[in-house]
Amino acid sequence: MLAVLGLLLALAGDARRGDGFWPYYAVKAVICVYLSLRMNTASLVAVLLSGALVGGAAELAGSRSGLWTFAAPGGLPPAWLVLGSWPLEVLVHYGLSGILVRESLVARGRYFHEPQMSGTGPTTRCGAVIARTAW
């Protein structure tokens, strides 16, 4: 998580001079660090990578269709946007929605309640039929 934030700051260059850059990314960083502490590493990396892929595709499609343009040669989106901003944005959306619905990938065991599917508890009639069928 900190690597993505560092990458964002290192690559942003002149974009950091905008009035809203620091407040926007400070709030986003706090949310993302909090969410990253609640997720397992594999899930976090998958969300960040998918954010970069989706963001890169969206920015490229938008620039190629003429919806917006970038000053970089060939009209490519800036690296800080694709590798920093989009992964953080997707993590915020995914993580906050996961917290709201108590989704297991984000919320830890004490927050996420799902019936136990195995163990010594009582077996329902349906479970007994499935167990007999499986054996």
Name the CA dihedral angle for 103, 6, 73, 18, rounded to a multiple of 10 degrees: 90
Nearest one of 39, 131, 30, 27 to 94, comparing CA atoms? 39
Higher pLDDT, residue 115 or 9? 9
Q: Which residue has the tokens 């065991």?
A: 109
CA distance 100 to 14: 36
Q: Determine the pLDDT at residue 117.
A: 57
What is the DSSP track for 67-106? Answer: S---SSGGGPPPHHIIIIIHHHHHHHHHHHHHHHTT-TTT
- pTM score: 0.74
Q: What is the mean pLDDT of residues 107-134?
A: 53
Q: Mean pLDDT, the chain, as a whole number?
A: 83
Q: What is the mean pLDDT of residues 35-55?
A: 92
Domain boundaries, the chain: 2-134
